[in-house]
Amino acid sequence: MTATPKVTSEVSLSNSFLGDTIQVCVVTRDMYRTMDGMVKLGIGPWRVYEFNAQNCKDLTFRGKPANLSMKLCLAFSGTMMWEIIQPIIGPSIYTEFLEKHGEGIHHVAQGCNNGDWEERKRSFTDRGFKMIQSGTWAERVPWAYFETEEATTTTIEIFDIPGDFALPEPLQWYPAKP
């Protein structure tokens, strides 16, 4: 049994490490339908990318090398990043989610107070949460998901965007380029 953490303030526990929630992701079978719905809510414009073995390295799924690809759409609402993922090929946590739950909110991403990348990952594994999918996008942005669904009802992602990183030009802007 884990010791109960101390309450250190109205917004913090002694074992806090997650930091700010920086992203909410929806997994869908139809990214255009989902982007249309988000646009109706005023979220957009959307940058549309494809993540695959050509632009992501070290792809893993459940501890093994992975061959997967997805359409990945990004937009901002204030400081919150919204993400829409439509899996294309290969087994992934997204295809598992669609099979088990259908479409919907798949994960949230946490900033982990911008700590060291290896320490961020250890913060999860030391608490018993297994890394279930990972990779590095555009040679500079590592990302990892942890199996937190049983404990929290959702999956948690972390990623590390270098301060000098600029999002590359997307394959498409939706509904239109700004």
Identify the CATH number of the domain in which residue 126 sits. Answer: 3.10.180.10
Domain for residue 17, yes or no? Answer: no
Residue 147 belongs to some domain of the structure: yes
**Residue 177 domain flag:** no
Q: d(Cα 133, Cα 56) in Å, to the nearest integer?
A: 12
Q: How confident is the model at residue 3 (pLDDT cuts 50, 70, 90)?
A: confident
Residue 78 has pLDDT above 80, yes or no: yes
**Weakest mean pLDDT among 97-101, 127-131, 144-148, 159-163:** 159-163
Total domains present in the chain: 1
Cβ within 8 Å of residue 139, ≥6 positions away: 57
Integer angstrom CA distances of residue 127 from 11, 34, 86, 111, 161: 20, 34, 30, 17, 24
Give the residue numbers spanning the domain of 48.
Answer: 27-161
Asked if the structure places residue 9 within a domain, the reply is no
Least confident of 16-20, 57-61, 102-106: 16-20
Cross-strand partners of 77: 80
β-pairing verdict for 56-61 and 46-51 = unpaired
pLDDT confidence of residue 113:
85
Euclidean distance between CA atoms 72 and 48, whole angstroms: 6
**How far is 70 from 132, CA to CA, in rounded Å?**
16
Task: Write down the residue that tokens 């509904």 correspond to.
Answer: 175
- Does residue 85 form part of some domain? yes
Identify the CA nearest to 130 among candidates 110, 103, 160, 151.
151
Please check whether residue 77 lies inside any domain of the structure.
yes
Please state, in angstroms and as integers, the Cα–Cα distance from residue 52 to each residue in 30, 47, 66, 67, 108, following that order. 18, 16, 10, 8, 21
- Do the domain assignments include residue 15? no
pLDDT band at 173 (very low <50, low <70, confident <90, very high): very high
In a domain, 58, yes or no: yes
For range 118-125, the mean pLDDT: 96
